Structure 1
Amino acid sequence: MAIVKMSKFDLVIFNSKRAEILKRLQRFKEVNFVDINLSDSEDENDEINENKIEGVTKYVNNEELTHIEERLHQVRSAISLIKKYDVRKTRLRDVIKGNENYTFDELYKKVLSYDWKKISSELNDIGAQYANIKSRISKKYSKYDEIDLWERLDVNPKELKQLKKVNSYLGTVPLKLKGTFIEQISNLSNTYYEELKIVKDEVYYLVISLIEENEAKKLSEVFRDSSFTVANLDIDAVPQDYKDKLQKEISELKKEKRKLKSKIKSYGEDLTDLEAIYEYLQNKKLRITESEKLAQTENTNIINGWIPTAKKDEFEKLIREETDGNYYLSFEEAKKDDETVPIKLKNGKISTNFETLTQMYAYPRYNEIDPTPLFTPFYILFFGMMGADVGYGLVLLLATAITLKIVNLNDSMKKSVKFFFYLSFSVIFWGFLYGSYFGATIPKMWRLIDPSSEYNTLLIGSIAFGVVHIFVGLGIKAYMLIRDGKSLEAVYDVLFWYMALAGGIVFLIFKLKNLSPVVTQVSMWVMILGMAGIILTGGREAKSVGAKLGGGLYSLYGISSYIGDFVSYSRLMALGLSGGFIASAINMIAGMIAGNWAGMIFVPVILVFGHLFNMFLSFLGAYVHTSRLMYVEYFGKFYEGGGRPFKDFRTETKKINLKD
């Protein structure tokens, strides 16, 4: 339950063995390559090209990378095309079945046995045809809509343009200028006009005018005054006949489209195979991109990286088998304060499911400790206190247990479900203590506290949990300082704060309650000594005496932040109460309409959906606010983070479950 110990390796192999070594290392999985810097100078301003180690160059393979990206695009397009028309994944049995399971060897055999290049190529061709037909149909619909505007025109517009004694115009006038247009054009004796259609704010017209200079001049003025816009209807048929022709063409194209769609659906059984191929190609691409971190000479490859120290023997055995003993390999255990060491976490059965919370905040540095097992018990306890209801906890327990039992989940999803599985026990436990069963109480059922009436007790308990939580955080800080040989700093930064805070809390409680005068007096002096210690040591890094005292007083002022931290834990009470009151309100609403025919219909609906919605809100609030208590109030006392995560030599598969 800690940060995995790491060792750095330097490996030299012959060029001919590079591809096979990388394949074997991908099966090995737990290797994090280091990008080899060929500069022999530590000055970042020096040009790398001027400082290259003689005879050593970076390994580059752009051609193979381009090729694999083309293959990935081809397979990805084929998968997308099948998925677009595949309905099988919506079936419950397919959801339960989940992704296909493969080992790395099984995946490689699939690539060799399945003709994926042919299938993906066929699908891409069909997809291109399908897209082309869709585009043609869309264009014809656009043309149809354009012609539809002129459907009342009963002559061929091309023939109108060929008339020798008259000019013909098709165009539009804004609806607000229709009166102006009609008034002015009606005064022209040698001009005919016909209104064809009104669409939104425009009126469509046919205008025929005698070819005569004076008439043309007057018509031009009419067009200008009425904002007449000439339209170019470029068809060689009567609009209605052209529309009929377009409808037939669209109908034929739709038939072709349906045939292609059926053809795509016939490839449905290839989906899971193509998804497996896609994940294989993704891993192959990773091998190519990671190989660019290597260096090479004329005959050899130089590989640097990190592996877990416990895996050194297995790693060397793998290299020895693959190279027939022709290799050079050395190991160096990571130094404690080396910030370049990649971080890999290893936790127990329960804590491992809470690692995501640590990763969301920040990975620990190599010289820190993994906070996951240190906050897991508190997280479970606080989440349950906020969700507190036996019924809600049982629903969460059953839902997660059934999902883990019957659904084939990948490792990431399995961890997420287990995370809520373990939290459900705490929700049930606190629900039992509060006597809450879907927001209701059971007569004569034992309970420790009634939240609706004993909220003051609940508030005090919440803050007490906060005190313990923060004190544990300070204790962890003390441990880390002592571990690093800084025992005096543990006294200055932890013990004095323990004295000031604990002494102050005990003093206030015993003073206000008029309890033991001896304890009151002792706690007061403990508090005073703690505060004096903070003042004298809080500014110890300053040079002058005045600055030291000023820094110490400022450090003591930090006690106000501790008070704020303690108050933050009141949310443990607040969220538990809010969820319980909403649940009670749902029950009350259902009870108000029960007892008649409408109640038989609506009461089950209100109870089921109401409680499901409240359950979602309660668990969401508990997740967010418990995380906040960990990140702000708890981590702030001992944890900094900033480590770089260890990246396994595998892609994170989404379409299959890749087993070791």
Structure 2
Amino acid sequence: MKTEKLAFVEIIGLQKDKTTILDFLHEKGILHLHSADKSNYKDLLKRDQTIELNEQISSTLLELKWLKEKLQPFSKKEKEHSFTNRELQLVLKEAKLVKNELRERIEQLSTRLEEVTSKITRAKEQKELLSKIPFKLERGDFFPRHTSKNAILLISKKNTVKSEESSPTTKKNRKTSKHTATRSKEKHLQKALKDIVRTIPHSLKETPTHAILAVPLEYETQVLKKLKVAGHHIVTLDPLTEKDNATQIRIIEKHIKELCEEEQELIEDLQRQAEKHADHIDQLFYELTVFHERYEASNQLHRTKHTFVLEGYVSERELKQIEKLHKVATVSIISRPAKTGPSKLKNNRYTQHFEFITKMFGYPPYRGIDPTIFVSIFLPLFFGFMFSDVGYGILLLFVSLLLLVKATPRKKIVYDSGFVLLICSLSTILFGIFFGSFFGNLFGFSPLLFDPFKNAKTVLITALVLGLLHLNVGILLSILSNLEKKDYRAIITGNLSIVFLELGVALLFLESTALGILALLMSGILFIANTGIMGLMDITGFIGTWFSYARLLALSLATGGIALGINIMAEQLNHIALLGPILFILLLIFGHLFNFAMNVLGSSIHSVRLHYIEFFSQFYEGGGTPFTPYTTKKTKDTL
């Protein structure tokens, strides 16, 4: 349950062996480098400096990263990359050649593709706007001469001023005829423009729902501001180049077709470039990343003229791997148990997939309690209890398998999420069998244990019992943590006060009245001893925390209730002549998909919340520093 025990090591070596030692440690990937700023030698020895060379590597990496990002959307290749141990200068020279060869070409293609895509989007918007104008629009309506110097605005007359919308007068007007409302909107537009139409040349053409306004470009900002304040929706139209809007639409459609053809040619060209160069760029990027990390590590060293010192943390079980340095270089290795340090989580093949949930809350401190194993047990349990439907569980199973198949080694979070959902789907199916729910009551599935709608009280009691078990695990972990820190006062006044409270209530239920009252008195005394008379408020706080687990019942009934409602409505639609069966099937499909999506989200959020708020608050501290090994792992990278 605790984070892994580490050893603090000091490696003293010769300057001539520095590269060999760093390469060895980088290849092993088991050492967390200690910051040079916190080193015991910072006031005694000089810092090793390789800043200039590392800046050159960083600059080249940025150039390669730019190429990678530009080519990434056009390549689906997956390649495994490894360090080739070539000389740094050779890799830098090769990277420079690739950069010089491709940079200009890729930049031209990418820039032009962005321009073409933007033009296509703009042209489609203009086509859509022109097609919505409810009257014939002619170029002569907008100053036949110097048309390109005018701003043409399409104004929706459906909106009105916000202050007017909320006024009693407006609310009354909503009950009047459509004719009166339309006339009011026309007057409102005229009012918004009255301060400017007298002083500037303009052209205005109106219908009951829209208006087209053309004004000289120098007045565009002023007009837009006036109209927006008035609450109108305004869209700027490009100047007409044809005689009317119908002809303009045909020209735009032709232009869109030409742009799409050019866009496809650009994409194919970029795909060819990616197919030819992507793997090479990625390999160079990987090798330079390794060099960059090694030189960064070199900057953490302290040195004399002939020696250097490297400090770091390593797992005690991997300390023997560090000692193998003696076989490749002349070194002195000093190790001792670490008193503080980074947190390295230690979980088995099952529980490690739940680590990301713990990490999102915060790393445990060094040698602190890692709650991941309990998250891996209770989170699927709570999720299944709330979702509790065989059909939805099967759907979730397919979703989780899809995530597992699609996840790449670089996207560990996707794989872990898929694994967690897989376990949750199995729990959902199991509780669906217990509660007799298969897309609600669609298949008349009989419950193995009980029906939540007929035995809601039983489900609530079960939920609260699970909640009490969950909280007591947290209290037990808190006791263990306080014992480790020798904080006996926290155990007596904090942990035992809750234990006596639970014990007292349990004894009262078992009709051991005297013992129950005695336990409750002890609990009250300990609460007061902890934080004074206000400590008694902690009793209601604990009860409130416990009752939070009633959400297990609420979500379970919500899932089943909505499914039941969908089935009832679908059955009613099935009686409609001709279209009935089609509507029946459509409502079942989309209704259950909606219920599935909403309750997957709800069950996930509330399962995590019960851990973060109710469970972790009993014992978990967080605030630890993650163990970051000095290495670059071989991965499959997709350009």
Percent identical: 25
Equivalent residues of 2:409, 2:636 under 8 A apart? no
| Cα distance in 1 for residues equivalent to 2:526 and 2:468 | 21
Count of matched residue positions in the alignment of Structure 1 and Structure 2: 521
Q: Tell me, yes or no, if structure 1 residue 334 matches structure 2 residue 315.
A: no
Equivalent residues of 2:356, 2:413 under 8 A apart? no
Q: Tell me, yes or no, if structure 1 residue 281 matches structure 2 residue 262.
A: no
- Which residue of 613, 625, 633 maps to 1:632? 613
- Which residue of 514, 522, 535 maps to 2:515? 522
Which protein is bigger by CA-based radius of gyration?
Answer: 1
- Which residue of 310, 323, 337 maps to 2:317? 310
Equivalent residues of 1:27, 1:104 under 8 A apart? no
Q: Call closer, same or farther: CA 1:60–1:585 in 2, change over 3 Å.
A: farther
| Cα distance in 1 for residues equivalent to 2:85 and 2:578 | 60
- Which residue of 600, 607, 623 maps to 1:642? 623
Matches within 5 A, 1:129-528: 129-130=108-109, 176-177=198-199, 200-202=214-216, 262-269=268-275, 270-317=277-324, 319-323=325-329, 326-335=330-339, 338=340, 341-401=341-401, 403-404=403-404, 408-410=408-410, 411-440=412-441, 442-443=443-444, 445-485=446-486, 490-507=491-508, 509=509, 516=511, 519-528=512-521
The one-letter amino acid of 2:312's match is G
Deviations 1:106-143 (A, max 9, x none): 9999x9799665444322120344467689999x99xx
Q: Call closer, same or farther: CA 1:431–1:136 in 2, change over 3 Å.
A: closer
Q: Call closer, same or farther: CA 1:612–1:351 in 2, change over 3 Å.
A: same
| Cα distance in 1 for residues equivalent to 2:217 and 2:493 | 87
Matches within 5 A, 1:543-562: 551-562=531-542
Q: Call closer, same or farther: CA 1:308–1:633 in 2, change over 3 Å.
A: same
**Structure 1 residue matching 2:461: 3-state secondary structure:** helix
Q: Call closer, same or farther: CA 1:133–1:449 in 2, change over 3 Å.
A: closer
Q: Tell me, yes or no, if structure 1 residue 15 matches structure 2 residue 15.
A: yes
Q: Call closer, same or farther: CA 1:401–1:125 in 2, change over 3 Å.
A: same
State which drifts further: 483-492 or 291-300: 483-492
The one-letter amino acid of 2:422's match is F
Deviations 1:54-92 (A, max 9, x none): xx21122222222112222222222233235x2x54xxx
| Cα distance in 2 for residues equivalent to 1:370 and 1:262 | 51
Which residue in the other structure is 2:221 paired with? none
State which drifts further: 127-136 or 472-481: 127-136
| Cα distance in 2 for residues equivalent to 1:313 and 1:646 | 18
Matches within 5 A, 1:27-176: 27-37=27-37, 52-53=43-44, 56-84=45-73, 86=74, 89=76, 99-102=78-81, 117-130=96-109, 176=198
Equivalent residues of 2:567, 2:588 under 8 A apart? yes
TM-score after normalising by structure 1: 0.69
| Cα distance in 1 for residues equivalent to 2:571 and 2:23 | 66
**Structure 1 residue matching 2:10: 3-state secondary structure:** strand
| Cα distance in 1 for residues equivalent to 2:290 and 2:320 | 25
| Cα distance in 1 for residues equivalent to 2:588 and 2:440 | 11
Equivalent residues of 1:36, 1:295 under 8 A apart? yes
For residue 264 of structure 1, report the CA deviation from its aligned partner. Answer: 2.8
**Structure 2 residue matching 1:306: 3-state secondary structure:** strand
For residue 359 of structure 1, report the CA deviation from its aligned partner. Answer: 0.9
Matches within 5 A, 1:570-589: 570-589=550-569
Equivalent residues of 1:384, 1:426 under 8 A apart? yes
| Cα distance in 2 for residues equivalent to 1:631 and 1:38 | 33
| Cα distance in 2 for residues equivalent to 1:137 and 1:489 | 67
Deviations 1:211-258 (A, max 9, x none): xxxxxxxxxxxxxxxxxxxxxxxxxxxxxxxxxxxxxxxx99999998
Q: Call closer, same or farther: CA 1:8–1:133 in 2, change over 3 Å.
A: same
Equivalent residues of 1:275, 1:655 under 8 A apart? no
Q: Call closer, same or farther: CA 1:504–1:418 in 2, change over 3 Å.
A: same
| Cα distance in 1 for residues equivalent to 2:35 and 2:451 | 61
State which drifts further: 643-652 or 363-372: 643-652
Q: Call closer, same or farther: CA 1:153–1:650 in 2, change over 3 Å.
A: same
Greater relative contact order (CA < 8 Å, ≥ 6 in sequence): 2
Equivalent residues of 2:200, 2:215 under 8 A apart? no
| Cα distance in 2 for residues equivalent to 1:389 and 1:106 | 55
The one-letter amino acid of 1:64's match is L
For residue 304 of structure 1, report the CA deviation from its aligned partner. Answer: 0.7
The one-letter amino acid of 1:72's match is L
Q: Call closer, same or farther: CA 1:254–1:383 in 2, change over 3 Å.
A: closer
For residue 268 of structure 1, report the CA deviation from its aligned partner. Answer: 2.6
State which drifts further: 441-450 or 610-619: 441-450
**Structure 1 residue matching 2:305: 3-state secondary structure:** coil
| Cα distance in 1 for residues equivalent to 2:388 and 2:342 | 39
The one-letter amino acid of 2:524's match is M
Gap regions ≥5 residues in structure 2 = 121-139, 148-195, 203-211, 219-256
For residue 32 of structure 1, report the CA deviation from its aligned partner. Answer: 0.9
For residue 151 of structure 1, report the CA deviation from its aligned partner. Answer: 8.6
- Which residue of 568, 574, 577 maps to 1:594? 574
Q: Tell me, yes or no, if structure 1 residue 4 matches structure 2 residue 10.
A: no
Q: CA RMSD in A?
A: 4.1
For residue 555 of structure 1, report the CA deviation from its aligned partner. Answer: 2.5
The one-letter amino acid of 1:626's match is S
| Cα distance in 2 for residues equivalent to 1:483 and 1:122 | 62
**Structure 2 residue matching 1:278: 3-state secondary structure:** helix
| Cα distance in 1 for residues equivalent to 2:602 and 2:633 | 29
Equivalent residues of 1:343, 1:646 under 8 A apart? yes
Deviations 1:306-347 (A, max 9, x none): 111111111221x22332xx1121111112xx3xx1001011
- Which residue of 546, 558, 565 maps to 1:566? 546
State which drifts further: 294-303 or 342-351: 294-303
| Cα distance in 2 for residues equivalent to 1:573 and 1:261 | 53
Equivalent residues of 1:467, 1:566 under 8 A apart? yes
For residue 559 of structure 1, report the CA deviation from its aligned partner. Answer: 0.6
Equivalent residues of 2:80, 2:636 under 8 A apart? no
**Structure 2 residue matching 1:629: 3-state secondary structure:** helix
TM-score after normalising by structure 2: 0.71
For residue 403 of structure 1, report the CA deviation from its aligned partner. Answer: 4.7
**Structure 2 residue matching 1:343: 3-state secondary structure:** coil
Gap regions ≥5 residues in structure 1 = 42-50, 142-147, 155-173, 181-197, 205-250, 511-515, 540-550
